[in-house]
Amino acid sequence: MTDTLLKWDDSFLIGIDELDYEHKVLIDDINRLHEELTRHDEKSEIERCLGDIHARMRAHFALEEHVMKEHGYEFFDEHKREHEALLDSYTEDMVQFLNDTGASASTPVEDSLKHWVVDHILNSDKKMSLMVQEKKSFLAKLRNRISGP
């Protein structure tokens, strides 16, 4: 039994169901990576897990950017730049890890993932979700007023 790197709890919820679901799956994947690294699993297993996380991050960022665009989020460019920087940083750490034949230097990969979850979801994603939901609520009230008695 290994320690969990990141424990999911409701403080990670941002209030947009499909994005919350993806964040949770990503955290599960990060914990799976941590377990594999701690158990010193075969490098091929770890490589597969790193690749899965990379693919999930890309897909998640694409979905989230679609949601932001759909709601005319005013800090879209800034948020997208953060996604790009996170993906670049993760890719760099992943490649470095895979090129390291010693293969015990797991920290940079895990650090960048932890940074993403803790800083990005709790700050940037929550800020975005709040503004998206305020806009939805404003538009709903406006619609009610227009179609009211």
Pick out residues in 52-91 that bind ligand FEO (CB under 6 A).
60-61, 64, 79, 83
Out of 58, 120, 126, 135, the residue judged to bind ligand FEO by CB under 6 A: 120
- Nearest residue to ligand FEO, by Cβ distance, number only: 125
Angle at 31 (CA atoms; ends 24, 65), nearest 5 degrees? 40
Binding of ligand FEO by 29 (CB under 6 A): no
CB of 80 to ligand FEO, least distance (A): 9
Out of 31, 106, 124, 129, the residue judged to bind ligand FEO by CB under 6 A: 124
**How buried is 110 (Cβ within 10 angstroms: 0-12 exposed, 13-18 middle, 19+ buried)?**
middle
If the CB atoms of residues 29 and 125 are measured against ligand FEO, the closer one turns out to be: 125
Binding of ligand FEO by 125 (CB under 6 A): yes
Out of 33, 117, 121, 132, the residue judged to bind ligand FEO by CB under 6 A: 121
Residues that bind ligand FEO (CB under 6 A): 19, 23, 60-61, 64, 79, 83, 120-121, 124-125
